[in-house]
Structure 1
Amino acid sequence: MREPKKALLFKSISIRTILPNVVTLFAFMAGLTSIKFALSGKWEWSVAAVILAGIFDGLDGTVARLLKSTSKFGAELDSLSDVVAFGVAPAVILYLWVLHDLDRLGWAVALIYAIAMALRLARFNAKIDDASDPRKRFGFLTGVPAPMGAGLLLMPMMIEFGVGDGTASSNGLLISFYSVCIALLMVSTIPTISLKALRVPKEWFVPVMLVIGIIIAGLFVRTWIVFMLIGMLYIVSMPLTYWAFKKRLASKKR
């Protein structure tokens, strides 16, 4: 009778199952490391660490699907990592950079953003298997996703790094208003673009690859300006995404 218990106790787990979770832990550690850089006043490194966390966050799901090792544990770990890397870390970074000058108001703004991120991720987990959502069925996301939300929150810092005239860091109230707007966009129900659902026509393949190459080259030359332009392009695309969703929804009802 004891043999089955021993077999259950020492049940093995495939490395294939562990690898996606390791990538998620890299994102978690990058988020925490961004706070360390911010505490040392290394602002560019702190923002870069958050961007690195976003890259790892995009890779873990891909690795899991490629290895066919998706799991409920991995989904929960991913959400916990996102709260730290894209919720807590960016809020702390922005507070240490400029919001601390506003004292309690600045801390309230940081809390609002972090809370909005936690609420967004909780909503995502609650609806992760809800196929009845028209946004999901049509290939759209609900609200601004976590990595992009963190990137948009830190965009004033990127502007400061790219332009370097001190304008962004001297407008704490404006940045506070902007931060609250980003928080609201994250918890909103507006449809947003999903890169996973994008399809490129075959005849556009070469031009699209050329544009991607130009963007990558730009990152080597003017890193923060390119990231800033990507963020602005995303904001501009939001009304177009909403219009595309409404058009799909209306055509489906006919």
Structure 2
Amino acid sequence: MSDRHAARSALPLRALIPNAITMLALCSGATGVRFAIAGEFEKAAAAIVIAALLDGIDGRVARMLRGTSRFGAELDSLSDVTAFGVAPALILYLWAFKPLADAGVEHWQEWTRLGWVVCLSLAVCCALRLARFNIAIDQEELPKKRLGFTTGVPAPAGAALALAPLFWSNAPGNSLDGDPMLKAGIVLMVTAITAFLMVSALPCWGFKAVKIPRSARLFVLAAVGLFAAALAQAPWMTLFVLALLYGLSVPFAVVRYNRLRKAEREMELASAMQPAEVPSQPG
């Protein structure tokens, strides 16, 4: 009897693998903060990128191994808050606002206070977005979710958007460290916009919302190859361009979603206006 009870209470290894990947993502994001404290901002940004890659595969691994669970979903959200909310906020603050005092910028204390408020808003909006996501996780009939769109910018994409100035500065010849006020101003603007996009109700691209025509699949595969080559040769500029393109694509996602919803409503209206079929009476 005890052996049966032990067998029922034991967890299969396949159920732990996705959670282990999620924990690696959390640790990678937290390690990014450690690198930022040491002034190693390239390594800090790389740690967030690694966390995003791990976050992108943990759910797919869970579905592939049939190891999905409510515990894993909650753990994933907690990991996302740390890796894509708190960690980028601290990295950006240490990179853009902490050096203002060393540079002797006038009124640097006011700038650092404002910078902390804006960076903190990134972490807060990330947490709010994930809380909203957890509430709706079992609601399949939500219009945006049904059509393959996300509500607001997803946490990993939001972290990439917020870190775009750091990606740019890490690229050879593009350093923003020579003008601390310019760097602080850019980070203020980009971080504030990203925080708004994360907590907003705007429809944003999801994997299911992107449809590739069969005739274009060869071009898409070629683009993937070129992207891999660019990432190997110029990783920081490639990441910056990728984040920029995603940010610029948000208005197109809104337009696409509105068109799909309009077509869906028209179909529902046409279906409701059709006369009901009267069953024939037996002769």
Alignment TM-score > 0.5, same fold = yes
Task: Return the match for 1:229 from 238, 241, 263.
Answer: 241
- Quote the Cα distance in structure 2 between the aligned partners of 1:165 and 1:140: 35
- Quote the Cα distance in structure 1 between the aligned partners of 2:66 and 2:213: 28
Matching residue of 2:198: 186
Q: Tell me if structure 2 keeps the 8 A contact 1:160–1:169.
A: no
TM-score normalized by the length of structure 1: 0.94
Matching residue of 1:105: 114
Q: Which runs of 5+ in 2 are unaligned?
A: 101-110, 267-283
Matching residue of 2:257: 245
After TM superposition, give the deviation of residue 109 of structure 1 in Å: 1.2
- The C-alpha deviation readout for 1:74-123, integer Å capped at 9, x for no partner, is 00110010010001100000000012332211111121111000000000
Q: Tell me if structure 2 keeps the 8 A contact 1:91–1:111.
A: yes
TM-score normalized by the length of structure 2: 0.85
- Quote the Cα distance in structure 2 between the aligned partners of 1:143 and 1:168: 32
Letter in 1 for 2:261: L
Matching residue of 2:181: 170
Change (3 A) 1:9 1:203: closer
Secondary structure at the residue paired with 1:104? helix
2:216 paired with 1:204? yes
- Quote the Cα distance in structure 2 between the aligned partners of 1:226 and 1:170: 25
Matching residue of 2:148: 139
- The C-alpha deviation readout for 1:159-212, integer Å capped at 9, x for no partner, is 111242426753213321221111010000000001244332222221101000
After TM superposition, give the deviation of residue 9 of structure 1 in Å: 9.0
Alignment of 1:29-40 (within 5 A): 29-40=27-38
Alignment of 1:30-179 (within 5 A): 30-100=28-98, 101=100, 102-162=111-171, 163-166=173-176, 169-171=180-182, 172-179=184-191
Q: Tell me if structure 1 keeps the 8 A contact 2:149–2:208.
A: no
Q: Tell me if structure 2 keeps the 8 A contact 1:86–1:150.
A: yes
Matching residue of 2:280: none
Structure number with bigger Rg: 2
Q: Tell me if structure 2 keeps the 8 A contact 1:159–1:168.
A: no
Secondary structure at the residue paired with 2:9? coil
- Quote the Cα distance in structure 1 between the aligned partners of 2:52 and 2:212: 23
Stretch moving more, 101-110 or 202-211: 101-110
- Quote the Cα distance in structure 1 between the aligned partners of 2:174 and 2:260: 43
Task: Return the match for 2:19 from 2, 18, 21.
Answer: 21
Identity %: 39
- Quote the Cα distance in structure 1 between the aligned partners of 2:59 and 2:180: 35
- Quote the Cα distance in structure 2 between the aligned partners of 1:207 and 1:42: 38
- Quote the Cα distance in structure 1 between the aligned partners of 2:64 and 2:248: 33
Change (3 A) 1:165 1:34: closer
Secondary structure at the residue paired with 1:103? helix
Letter in 2 for 1:60: D
Q: Tell me if structure 1 keeps the 8 A contact 2:168–2:175.
A: no
Matching residue of 2:207: 195
Q: Tell me if structure 2 keeps the 8 A contact 1:143–1:188.
A: yes
Stretch moving more, 103-112 or 80-89: 103-112
Q: Tell me if structure 1 keeps the 8 A contact 2:152–2:202.
A: yes
After TM superposition, give the deviation of residue 129 of structure 1 in Å: 1.2
After TM superposition, give the deviation of residue 143 of structure 1 in Å: 0.4
